[in-house]
Amino acid sequence: MDYLESSLEVLKILNNNNFDAFIVGGFVRDYLLNIKSNDIDLTSSATPSEVSKLFKTIPTGIKYGTVLIDYNGFKFEHTTFRKDGLYNDSRHPEEIEFSKNILEDIKRRDFTINALLMDKDKNIIDYLDAKKDLDNKIIKTIGNPNDRFNEDALRMLRCISFVSKLGFDIEDGTYKSIYENKDLLRNVSIERIRIEFDKISNGCFRKKAWELFYKLKLNEIFPNMLELKTYDVSIRDILIYNLVETGEISDFWMLSKQEIRNLNKCVNLLKNGINNYNMFISGYTASIYALTYLKLDLKLWDNLKIKSLKDLNINGNDLVDVVSKNKRGDCLNHLAKLVIDGKVKNEKDELLEEAYRWNTSA
């Protein structure tokens, strides 16, 4: 039994126990668009405690009525029908109320195309005319867009990430509301923002999405996001571009020390020029960053004769009788450059001869 069939079995069990139950959201949308998806969310009138009596569950968001159902080797996120209370932080409701009415539940969601339902027999239920928006390739909020974005500001970035995934246009009222409410994004954690940025970066229509992102002036909310010359980029490319232009990376991005080192190495490589030896001394990660940024063939890295000093058929111990200890590092780098440039073969005897010559002339 596959993933979808297993989820339908879960719906049948819930139905047989007198609960209304559906697959909801992105999976149904992608199913209608013939997009492969392995992310099935379930919703029903059963409370978390009632679900736990029928299935093995893992509590993941009890406060919001969410548990993970473990069934037939698959895991499904299940959320009880609910109504949301007031949102005071532009992200989460202060309180929720469980409901027995599916229409109340879907009306609290973000976009019409994410409010489609599938029942146990694969029938599609469309309360909000979402199929029309799918046909017209439109992303539109459910109800008043100002209300939806004031409830959860991250929905503005989610809108852009759906553009990147689907290539759809943003409905005029939704577009205007994003522009007018973009400052609310300042209330959202960088961790959540980075997840959406990664989705934008990885979508098939990321060029269109980033173009909209900048057209809506969303970049003004975040540091180090200067206007771009091209929009076919990843968020990493944007950070590299800004690092080249400004020489700094804001703490806002919460990058690790290793990420910052790799970005700085990449920028130094870009400034010094892409060649075999510069890639060698910059290392794999920085070189791949730079090649990707410039849209060059990644085989330029693969084709290097050696990729680190460890690949040399000679090491510091071999140079004990040839070069003084304080010069061995410089000598090995010199030999590496000759090998990379094809001037010396990566063979121990030939490398030792060159080491003698280098030491004599140094």
Model confidence pLDDT, tens digit, residues 10-26: 999 999 999 999 999 99
pLDDT, mean of residues 36-53: 93
pLDDT, mean of residues 252-256: 92
| Residue 197 shares a structural domain with residue 102 | no
Domain that holds residue 362: 309-362
pLDDT in tens, 54-109: 999 998 888 888 999 999 999 999 999 987 655 565 555 666 788 889 999 999 89
Three-state SS annotation for the chain: CCHHHHHHHHHHHHHHCCCCEEEECHHHHHHHCCCCCCCCEEEECCCHHHHHHHCEEEEEEHHHCEEEEEECCEEEEEEECEEECCECCCCCECCEEECCCHHHHHCCCCEHHHCCEECCCCCEECCCCHHHHHHHCEECECCCHHHHHHHCCHHHHHHHHHHHHHCCEECHHHHHHHHHHHHHHHHCCHHHHHHHHHHHHHCCCHHHHHHHHHHCCHHHHCCCCCCCCCCCCCHHHHHHHHHHHHCCCCHHHCCCHHHHHHHHHHHHHHHHCCCHHHHHHHCHHHHHHHHHHCCCCCHHHHCCCCCCHHHCCCCHHHHCCCCCHHHHHHHHHHHHHHHHCCCCCCCHHHHHHHHHHHHHHC
Residue 213 within a domain: yes
Number of structural domains in the chain: 3
Q: Are 206 and 233 in contact (CB under 8 A)?
A: yes
> What pLDDT is recorded for position 86?
57
CATH (domain of 64)? 3.30.460.10
Residue 286 within a domain: no
Q: Are 340 and 280 in contact (CB under 8 A)?
A: yes
User: Which range in 97-101, 111-115, 225-229 is most confidently predicted, on average pLDDT?
Assistant: 111-115
> What pLDDT is recorded for position 292?
95
201, 225, 249: which is the final residue of a domain?
225
> What pLDDT is recorded for position 1?
65
| Residue 68 shares a structural domain with residue 168 | no
> What pLDDT is recorded for position 198?
94
> What pLDDT is recorded for position 95?
65
> What pLDDT is recorded for position 15?
97
pLDDT, mean of residues 283-296: 96
Residue 142 within a domain: yes
> What pLDDT is recorded for position 323?
83
pLDDT, mean of residues 41-47: 96
| Residue 170 shares a structural domain with residue 115 | no
Q: Is the pLDDT of residue 339 over 70?
A: yes
> What pLDDT is recorded for position 360?
84
Q: How far apart are CA 256 and CA 301, in angstroms?
A: 24
pLDDT confidence tier of residue 316, bands split at 50, 70 and 90: confident
pLDDT confidence tier of residue 52, bands split at 50, 70 and 90: very high
| Residue 9 shares a structural domain with residue 86 | yes
| Residue 120 shares a structural domain with residue 148 | no
| Residue 120 shares a structural domain with residue 199 | no
Residue 263 within a domain: no
225, 244, 271: which is the final residue of a domain?
225
> What pLDDT is recorded for position 64?
82
The per-residue pLDDT of the chain, averaged, comes to: 92
> What pLDDT is recorded for position 348?
92
Residue 268 within a domain: no
pLDDT confidence tier of residue 224, bands split at 50, 70 and 90: confident
